[in-house]
Structure 1
């Protein structure tokens, strides 16, 4: 199992804050292995069945929990509150229904930590490799990479995504088959509790959204789904962790809430599986490569901030066309500091005028370009960073050292 140091830190903090911590994550993302590694780091944690939880100080890890255990967990929490025992639970639900019922039944008691697919800096931790590129554009052919080093190659990480079963597959074809099988099983589940009819084609919806990746989502533009059906499906996909929505800046304002949100498929391996992209050669030739890299880098930078920032985009009609900032990260703990980021495929690409206009309109001085090459260029006023360097910079802005 590859180590997830950031998630270890987040879970340590969560169990101090909450009586119940839900460990969220997609199937096959590695939650059970993560929990075993985390338990071995602590002297106060043990894995057990729900019926074996004791009302005493300690952390009890409940893995693969389904809806049958919900009432027992609620009973444990309420009894622990009455007896003032410091009993803490870490729960890894096996389905979305269980996670959401615990969260809504025990408001103020339940916290959560997400185990996301493996991130680029987590690969660097595992293999001790200090020089990681961010994508296949400038890469050597995959056939030149020895099999034992597959997981270390960032070309594979962008192409295949961060699921261990996909990342470590024997070849690109096996990886694609794995991802499609995982998606098919997940999207065939019953989501009627969230207003998604049993016969609704969730697989088609996910493929349709993959074709809209990194664009603003028009909820009235899907030809095979009504607006409410689309809204319900996207909500479920977001709860699962398959897609991410970004609001238009400033988030939470009336103006932002009235405008379309930007939608991303969070794991680019799943994005490419839906688009039929099997190899790096196919990705380089596909018109979706720009949106794919934007999705890949956006997710990496949001996760690098460790949940301590907001994420938005900016798009306004200016005097000379659209003024646009691909990603704005805001850090409330740093007096609302804003960071503006532009994404480019290829190491020589520079930000366009619309990016500078947007930064000027919002008075953002902290800004940089993230490109798909393998080295940072700090020679210009607006730095052009490879993804590894950008992740390190964002991680540093929350007071943590990047795991590189």
Structure 2
């Protein structure tokens, strides 16, 4: 520190005395109230810069701080990128549940796992946007080509080595290969067979309520078409709606048997669309307004229109039913614009963040998995089960059990 960096009290006094005798001028202006000469806290010292202070530290202190900073960056990067996408995890089950995952270094323990039918790569554009249920690699490779995200399959026939391609997780295959991003550990407290629906219909319904509808406590919900996906929604995701705080849950279908099943499992109201006008009935139940959230679960033009008309002003119509190719739904554009009705499509949920939450909900008793499953069949009976499903003979959900 230089000598002129210190201004003593005596120098301040002399300066003040000189100005009191000779007066102030442009050459000798009066000291500013905040000038050093006005301060009475001793000599003024200049604070060293950050760069100067950093250079004055011991080399080992600088090294330690640099290492800590590097470690923090690595941890932050790991959180942002999520789990790496290891090659595989062989599993023994149907489309949504597996066990004895041993080949992946990330999943080295012998545990039971439940898998989501949407398997995100964890690296694409939509992952950054927080919409990994739209994963580009999943639709480009798995759905379009039946491969994993390197464009290759891991399954081959024993006899001739011919490659076997898979749709989603493998369906009715005894073994399948899936990215670890699509798996969650299945706790011992949950039933193995019944938990297979967690990564399928529950996964779909959770995404519709949590992300598409952004459901709030006290919202009223209508499910139009409780057969197919809708019946399982009523069976257990209705209970998710209850867990989210739904005030009313209205089930709409054309079969009394399915509506009775929905009532048994917690629906507050039912509407038989074969006997009543579904839209008018829903509005009667909701004091003429319509529901906050309507779910369409069949993928038909008629139910699409009913869903859009059933919501209140500012409400949300969420479509989760898949339709045949080129099926078009009609909507009143003027009503949509003036009444701020929102029509949203929803295909599934986000495996890495949602699947674990779904398992926790099931473990907490938010819904009863065993009451959701209406039929269990062996592998040899799978064709008959699909025929019954095609003819609407299955109420609830059927599960194909594959045992070694």
- TM-score, normalized by length of structure 1? 0.26
